A and B are shown apart, each in its own frame.
Chain A
Amino acid sequence: MSERGATRRIRAIAWREFRYTALTKGFLIGAIILPGIMFAAIPLLPMLMSSKSAPLIGRVVVIDPTNSLAQSLEMSLPMSAQKSLENQDNSSISEPFKVELTVENISDTARVEEFRAQLKESSLRALIIVTPSADGPAAELLVPSGASPRHTTILESALREAVTRARVTQANENYDRLSKLMGRSAIETRRVSPEGNESKENAQLRMLVPAGFMFLLWIAVFTSGNYLLTSTIEEKSSRVMEVLLSAASPIELLTGKLVGQAGVAGVMLLMYGGVGLAGLGAAAMLDVVPLQHLLWMLVWFPLAYFTVAAIMVSIGSAVSDLREAQSLIGPAMLALTIPLMLWLPIVESPNGMLATISSFVPPAAPFVMILRLTAANEPVPMWQALLAVFVNVLTVAAILWSGARIFRVGVLMQGKPPSPMELLRWIKAR
């Protein structure tokens, strides 16, 4: 067979596969425009999700036979309200709202029912019942049934602080001084690079980076793998397969399809990865993704893609519809979802037993390795990284070889789907 002819046919098949997947309205809307809109909407989310709370205005009655809590509460309320406003600023979700409460101290405990009735009518914002004890006052907060959760949180916080203040005062200590001493101390962590450059440490983000890499790889590879499965099934069910096989050999057809969908996966990887990097760049946090991580991604992307793609295309060639494909896909999917379930322990301990062993177990290995290699806390020994690449190259070769043999027999088969034993026979067939 002339090599030029084979190359031309593979190119034609690959381009058709790419064009009718990546340049369709469905792909543009589902895989590009919607995520693009979602990304663009992130800065708008606070505005879109903002909720205007009603002001907290009214009376709070404190029934306190010791007369020790009302004053503390009056002092704590503005502080709690202020804290609430600060939290609101941080979350940027809700608009700040006004807090104006008058605290009435009632020492006559017999009037509890009178104020309970007022609470039921919602003419009180809260009723606080204080019980004296040897360690200081204990308090019970009652709010009307229609009280907003945010208002209740402010009242709870203020009451908690007032009780503490009253206890500290009862112990003859200065609450403001102690509070200042016990306050949360600000510690700034900076990471020093081998070149001596310092950058602000963001431990949580560093935990998320490996997961980001793994999910990116997973989504790109599985989306295109799924397209490969459905396009192969469509070619079989619409009987266009024999027309294709009259123009190209099964290997050319398989190669063209794999190359075309590799382009689709590449587009997704570049698009989502690019958006992620742009976001990190905008937040001046690009240092959490060193160049080395990107290079490892380039190594593991083809290995992950060809592993998944060969499995999908073999299944697509062996069945006649998607329903039949589900039963064959099940075991493969189970193995491939392992990294999704175990990403946290693997990232926390990238050189642990679980991570090390699963790095060599196909077909999940590429996803586990990208998790390990991009985890910042412990570098993976280079011999392990290289051995994993070698093992996965062999795995990909074996899966592609078996996939090609299943494809060759399966594409012309119609009727009931093959059993695993039949698939083995197809692999061994001449």
Chain B
Amino acid sequence: MKNIVIQLANVNKRFGALQAVRNVSFEIQRGQVCGFLGPNGAGKSTTIRMVMSILLPDSGSITVLGGSALDAKDRIGYLPEERGVYRKMRVADFLRFIAKLKGISRNDADSRIRAWLERVELPGVSQKRCEELSKGMQQKLQFIASVLHEPPLLILDEPFSGLDPVNRRLLSSVVRQLKESGTTILFSTHQMEQAEDLCDQVLLIHKGEKVLDETMGAIHGRFDPRTILAEPANSIDVAAAALEHVSNIESFRWSMEQKAFEIRVTEGVDPQLAMSNVMRATPLRRVELQRATLDDVFVKLVGGSVVEIETADKTGKPQVNHV
């Protein structure tokens, strides 16, 4: 119990006719990084706001750092989904104000502000007004505001959205460093690669209900790999013609990125059997069973309700891709 940092039990929240969160329960252990995933409008931000005690649940209980988040606000760092700064305030003044709210002394705050501005590559902006910063810079500023008081629990709502790849990578590495220093992190995201890269645990919420709560290892074990990657030894066209006649495969497409065919195994068929069939059909330079990605898991669990785009593979065979 001592190691549980966040605990939700049968939490419900309704806004008028909309049941935003339905009977959600989960626990996050100390030092873990938990990815909070779900499509838009799934109830992620509402759940996070309830964890922060910004919203109160209609029923159920929420324990954060052993009590209510109201009692632990100084020990929680929070980056909300909707970013906001005082436009007319200078950067250093804004961060000092947040530091003061979190109980940091003026001297400590100044040294931490300097260090963090350097760390997120924002040197020389401390005397600028917040409104003079670009959107990405403001986002980094807000990130600093959430970690300035070195909280043991960090809650980040879509921390990487709106950032360019360089800053996304930068922030991602900072989050990784915080994880290594023992900070418990709950973050919501649509960036599956980021979640896969950073998370120990994944929570997936859909239409207000929890549909997945597993460690990354358990997810990889539970969701069977159903894609074979096959790099042909001869020409692509010859290999494609051969694959047309292979049994136990659902579809295949040429991946320019992988420089190989991505072959979907028919549901219920042993992937090893399908792989043997492929190897028999055409000479291959490389063949491997592709691991299920978080993206695949996400699509599998909430795919029925998300947009589907029909594309055609290299052979002209119609194929459905979930996005």
Contacts and interface: CB of A to CB of B under 8 A. Distances in A.
Interface stretch (A236-244, A262-270, A292-300, A332-340): A236-244
Given A246-B52, A412-B54, A8 B103 contact: yes
Contacts of A238: 84-87
A430 B56 contact: yes
B132 to A, nearest CB: 14
Interface string B85-100: 1111100000001101
Contacts of B74: 5
> Most chain-B Cβ atoms within 10 A of its Cβ — which of A16, A234, A241, A243?
A243
A255 to B, nearest CB: 13
Given A2-B71, A247-B98, A239 B103 contact: no
Interface string B59-96: 00000000000110110101010111111110000000
A384 B44 CA distance: 56
Given A12-B100, A243-B98, 15 more contacts: A12-B101, A16-B97, A234-B86, A235-B84, A235-B86, A239-B83, A242-B84, A243-B78, A243-B80, A243-B84, A246-B78, A248-B73, A248-B101, A249-B70, A412-B55
Contacts of A13: 101
A2 B78 CA distance: 20
A413 to B, nearest CB: 11
Closest 4 CB pairs of A and B: A239-B84, A240-B84, A246-B78, A247-B101
Contacts of B83: 239
B32 interface: no
Contacts of A241: 84
A9 B88 contact: no
A359 to B, nearest CB: 40
A9 B101 contact: yes
A271 B47 CA distance: 49
> Most chain-A Cβ atoms within 10 A of its Cβ — which of B56, B76, B83, B97?
B97
Interface residues of B, number: 30
Contacts of A246: 52, 54, 73, 76, 78, 80, 146
Nearest to B72: A1
B85 A12 contact: no
A20 B73 contact: no
25 contacts: A8-B101, A12-B101, A16-B97, A20-B86, A234-B86, A235-B84, A235-B86, A238-B84, A239-B80, A240-B84, A240-B85, A242-B49, A242-B54, A242-B80, A242-B82, A243-B80, A243-B84, A243-B85, A246-B76, A246-B146, A247-B73, A247-B98, A247-B102, A249-B53, A412-B54
A245 interface: yes
Contacts of B70: 1, 249
A234 B78 CA distance: 21
Nearest to B81: A242
Nearest to B55: A412
Nearest to B67: A1
Contacts of A9: 101
A12 B97 contact: yes
Interface in A375-424: 412
Interface in A319-361: none
A287 B249 CA distance: 102
A416 to B, nearest CB: 14
Contacts of B82: 239, 242
Contacts of A247: 73, 98, 101-102
B142 interface: yes
Nearest to A244: B101
Contacts of B97: 12, 16
A428 B114 CA distance: 46
B113 interface: no
Contacts of B76: 246
Interface string A152-169: 000000000000000000
> Most chain-A Cβ atoms within 10 A of its Cβ — which of B49, B55, B80, B85?
B80
Interface in A16-42: 16, 20
A245 B54 contact: yes
A306 to B, nearest CB: 24
Nearest to A231: B86
B85 A20 contact: no
Contacts of B239: none
B148 to A, nearest CB: 11
B145 interface: yes
A20 B71 contact: no
A235 B97 CA distance: 14
B145 A243 contact: yes
A29 to B, nearest CB: 16
Interface in A285-328: none
> Most chain-B Cβ atoms within 10 A of its Cβ — which of A2, A13, A245, A248?
A245
A12 B95 CA distance: 12
Contacts of B52: 245-246
Nearest to B100: A12
A9 B100 CA distance: 7
Contacts of A234: 86-87
A246 to B, nearest CB: 4
Nearest to A253: B101
A246 B83 CA distance: 12
Contacts of B142: 243
A234 B130 CA distance: 14
Nearest to A24: B88
A312 to B, nearest CB: 19
Contacts of B85: 238, 240, 243
B89 A20 contact: yes
